[in-house]
Amino acid sequence: MNKQSIVEFESVSKNFEGAHGVTAVRDATFEIREGQTVAIMGPSGSGKSTILNLAAGLDNPTSGSVYVQGRDLSELSDNQLTRLRRDKIGLIFQSFNLLNTLTALENVSLPLRLRGIAKTEAEERAKSLLDLVGLNDRSDHLPDEISGGERQRVAIARAMVAEPVLLLADEPTGNLDSEAGEKVLRILKDLNSEFGTTVILVTHDRSAAENCNRVFEIVDGIISEESNDRRAGASLTEAMATE
Amino acid sequence: MIGGLALVSRKQWRRNKTRTILTLGGIVIGVAAYFAVAAANVTLNDSLRSTVEQIAGKADIQITSGESGFPEELLNSVRRTEGVRVAEPALEIVGTTGDDARLLIVGLDTTSDLEIHKGLVPDTNVSIENPLAFINKPDSIAVSRTFAESNGLSEGDSLVLMTQAGKKSFTVRGFFKPTGFGAVFGGSVAVMDIVSLQQIFDRENSVDRIDVLSAENSDTDTVIAALRKVLPEGINVQRPEQRGEQLEKSVSGVRVALGLMSFLALVISVFIIFNSFYISVSQRWKEIGILRALGVESYKIQLLILGEAIVLGTLGSVLGIAAGYLLAIGAAWIMSTAAAVGYGAVSSTGLPVIEARSLATAVLLGIIASIIGAWLPARTASAVDPAIALRDIENRTKEVRMGWTRTLVGIGMIALGLVLTWFADASVGTSIQLSYWFLIMLGMVILLPGFIKLGSMIMRPFANRFLGIEAVIAIDSMARTPRRTSATVGALMIGLAFVIANGAVIQSQKSALSGTLDRSVNADFLVTNSTQIRSQTYHFTEDVADRVGKVPGVKRAEYLRVTSLEHNRENVALLAHDMEGWLTRSPNALDEGDTSRVKSKMSAGEGFFVSQNFAFRFGIRLGDELTLESPNGPLKRKVLGILEYYQSEIGTVFIERSLFKTYWKDSGVDYIFVTADRNADPSSIKEGIEKAVAGNQQVFVYSHAEYRQWVLGLIDRFFTLGYAQMVIAVLIGALSLVNTMIISISERKREISILRAVGGFRGQIRRMIVYEAMAVSLIGIATGLVAGILSAYCTLYISVVVVAGYRLPFEFPYMLVLISFPVVLLISALASIVPANRAASLNIADGIVYE
């Protein structure tokens, strides 16, 4: 069975205007299909996060088109875009971006409540997600009261609570120690295999990328997909460097 | 290093233009309000003084005696006094044209050299075509060109004025240019021969003033002392400028009210400045951390923030002065209008007068307010731990915790303020009394974080259940930053407290006056010929008043003359009543004393009644002897009764009318109290009275209910300023809310962007901001209610009981509260529209990376 296209970039470029204008993405064309796990790698400032923002409709391309499930984002109104994000896309950030005044449970139920779902029902669903990420005992804690790894797991639960088809994770392990980082990556992998959620992961971490079906590399705004051979080589180099 | 820090500040201002502009706006509001009131005050004083000086001419001494004037024969004694070079009599009458415009007519001895008064209008400015006709014809009048032009008058035209002697026609036979005296009261002035004026106004042998020019080699004070010796008690001898000061005193109530308003604006601006700097420090947490890490000492960080406050304070003050100048035009108009409504003293007001002192004070206050507002944020900034700031940008500010110490300090300050108010002494002065109120408000401000926590705890479950997650986030956002929220809540609280206190004072005064009207002014009809409550410019003559008594259906007509006299150097009201009639009609008029037992004595002129505030101010008790100084010698009687009466803030004395006529040689009548026959038809009585007096004088016939309504309406007019202040207070509070919300949004870009990123619609973001504004204003309303009740108590007790000596029952302004609270909520919702739209249109991607 042909897998459906989830995200498609067609000749997308993104320039940031200013005194020293920057081109963050140059003529990017690629397609990501349902159920795939994709890593985007690259040095700081190479345009990784911009790719994610464009895919989530948080930012508009300067030229070209971004499609999510076949819909051209540039043709959607702000409300349609918001609805798409709310119903189809889950976002995970490096700095967690939880609301500090809401408990873990309230943070996770937030997208559902914004959707107008009753508090009880939204919290029931949020509890099951917290259970899934192993934090059912932390549901009444505020973000300040839990560890970094736990915060990121709450953020994953929040991203997954609306059962999105696409999960966009921007350096989800960047602020975590290796143990917590591994736990987060495991959860993302499980979500992909259990629910078929497409995952796009921006990362610096080669080992995190290793677990993905596809790896893209972006340098100076130019994105290219690594071949399997190159990925194997890169892995080996990194392993040697570690030793 | 200073240069480096200044660079940091400049960059900050440039990068955060909105915040900088809003901070400046806060300073501008406070300084503009202060400067407007200060300039309006100076303008009004200037105008009052110049009025007195223009009317006084070259005189260096003025002799006066209350409203009734004094015998002309004293002129001879004055002229004979050593050191007096020239003495000229003057009579002042106010007439009304058909359009109800007032005209001050000054009667001068035109047959004399007019050495003093000639200076009023230089010859070159006067044009009298036929001087002989002017002097010989008693109806001759000279008017200012301004008045002539506005009334279309030319030489020989007749000018009809309503006077106490009925409708009178004058002939315009002279004009003078609208400069100097001609500009007084906006040019609504006229000059006549004094003898003609005396005849027309039934004031034969009576003058209002003798203007004196002392001899060149004489010391004015010595001449004043000599004149005081030769003239009877009750006659005032003073320099013209002292008379100006008395006029100034007559509008002191309005000035104090406007002064309070400007103080309030300054207090609110401190909240706005605090808020702006607090958020500025919060946003610059990391920058401050970097500076600290680079070796900038903590006191220099504090200086950096305070230096910014001083620069913005100076700039804001300069802008505030410009805005204040425009406001001053309005404030001066309000002052003179309020003065005219209450006291009949109309003053011409031109462009605001600017004094160097007001300018300097305004700038200084703007800078001080900025330093006070920035003090705490500066201290917070100086305490930034660079390690924490650089590592964890999430925890930017230390928030206040409502511990027991803070709670006790807050409660203690409120209690202390109340105790000080309770034991307040009138002699300590307004500033000290105001500080008691300030102490109470400061206590409330200290408790605000506690109120906010309590308020959010109450509102959150409600919001969670009924309004959705956006309301919960809104309330959380408010509760998370009690310090920032306190600034807005504080501004609203102070504004509302002012509204409630003002409302309570007005309501209490109306209620007390209403009681007095029912108890003492309870005739079936009340006949008067003036629409002024305090200044009786025109009076009925006795023969006109007698006609009222003869109207069919009138059982009894009592006469009342309302005037004033000097007592212990204070101007008190003197009410000359037909005691027999009054006490028969009002058996419960007295609070102390037995009406039935003293009625005959009072009717025989053997005693006085005094008002409660007179007794309080001059330490008079029932049965004490009291001596009044009349133009015809001292008058000593026992005080036979004390009653609550609100004619004068200083005090009121009641005497039998026949006694007044004997000692004051004044038979004028200001009010006629009519008791109707039981079966008489009220409308035919009213018609009968109007017919009896019509054609002779202006007449207003009120039934008891109508009179009540009229007096209470006058109070409302007098308090127009109070109502205007309430509106301004609420608007300043709302402005503070806009300021806070806009600044708060720039602080919360990230939070708002997260909400948008996880699926929040723009509409939901807008609602969240509106909910937050309304939650803040709900707490502002609740705390404003508490602060308002405390302020009302302070204001009523200090300004009314301690200063004026009245005993006012406390009346809570329920209606005002019921109306103003929804209005405040609505204004808050409206005020949040712009910030809400700004929040909804934030760029999500920018916001998420925002630090």
pLDDT tens figures, A24-33: 899 999 999 9
Calpha distance B100→B251 (Å, rounded): 23
B745 C-beta neighbours (distance < 10 Å), count? 24
pLDDT along chain B (851 residues), means of 10: 68 76 80 79 70 69 76 88 88 73 79 68 65 77 85 85 71 79 71 84 81 86 88 78 60 61 72 75 75 80 87 90 83 62 47 80 86 84 72 49 83 92 71 82 91 93 87 86 81 84 82 82 82 55 84 90 84 90 88 90 94 88 92 89 84 94 85 88 86 72 83 72 70 74 75 88 92 91 91 76 68 85 86 86 76 41
Which element (helix H / strand E) includes A102? Answer: none
> In this complex, is the C-beta atom of B286 within 8 Å of any C-beta atom belonging to chain A?
no
Q: Which residues of B touch A93 (CB under 8 A)?
A: 848
Closest-CA residue of chain A to B476: A101
> In this complex, is the C-beta atom of B473 within 8 Å of any C-beta atom belonging to chain A?
yes
Angle at CA of residue B574, ends B571 and B575, nearest 5°: 155
Taking only the tens place, the pLDDT of each residue in A8-19 is 999 999 998 766
The pLDDT of residue A30 is: 94
DSSP B712-726: HHHHHHHTHHHHHHH
A193 vs chain B: nearest CA distance in angstroms?
23
Asked if B234 and B630 touch (Cβ cutoff 8 Å), the reply is: yes
Tell me how many residue pairs between chain A and chain B have CB atoms under 8 A apart.
75
Calpha distance B499→B789 (Å, rounded): 10
Q: Would the pTM count as exceeding 0.80?
A: no
* Closest by Cβ to A97, choosing from B465, B479, B754: B754
Map tokens 């819909």 to a residue. Answer: A71
* Closest by Cβ to A78, choosing from B464, B473, B762: B762
**What sign does the CA torsion over A183, A188, A192, A194 have?**
positive
Taking only the tens place, the pLDDT of each residue in B349-360 is 557 777 888 888
Amino acid, res. B566: E
Q: Which residues of A touch B468 (CB under 8 A)?
A: 113, 116
* Closest by Cβ to A110, choosing from B464, B469, B479: B469
> In this complex, is the C-beta atom of A228 within 8 Å of any C-beta atom belonging to chain B?
no
For residue B4, give both structure tokens: 């480096």
The pLDDT of residue B851 is: 41
DSSP B480-504: H-HHHHHHHHHHHHHHHHHHHHHHH
Provide the residue ranges of all domains of chain A, joining segments of one domain with +.
5-242
Q: Which of B399, B459, B469, B761 to mutate to test the interface with A (most CBs of A within 10 A)?
A: B469
The pLDDT of residue B373 is: 82
The pLDDT of residue B180 is: 65
| A158 with B759: Cβ contact below 8 A | no
* Closest by Cβ to B758, choosing from A83, A91, A101: A91
> In this complex, is the C-beta atom of A44 within 8 Å of any C-beta atom belonging to chain B?
no
Q: Residue B95's beta-bridge partner residues?
A: B103
Q: What is the mean pLDDT of chain A?
A: 86
The pLDDT of residue B536 is: 47
**Of B273, B813, B802, whose CA–CA distance to B496 is shortest?**
B813
What is the architecture, at CATH level 2, of domain A5-242? 3-Layer(aba) Sandwich (3.40)
> In this complex, is the C-beta atom of B477 within 8 Å of any C-beta atom belonging to chain A?
yes
| A82 with B750: Cβ contact below 8 A | no
Average pLDDT over residues A213-218: 92
Asked if A134 and A85 touch (Cβ cutoff 8 Å), the reply is: no
Q: Which residues of A touch B755 (CB under 8 A)?
A: 99, 110, 114
CA B674 to chain centre: 35
B786 vs chain A: nearest CA distance in angstroms?
29
Q: Flag whether the ipTM exceeds 0.95.
A: no
* Closest by Cβ to B757, choosing from A49, A85, A113: A85
| B761 with A87: Cβ contact below 8 A | no
Map tokens 């279309």 to a residue. Answer: B152
* Closest by Cβ to B468, choosing from A49, A102, A113: A113
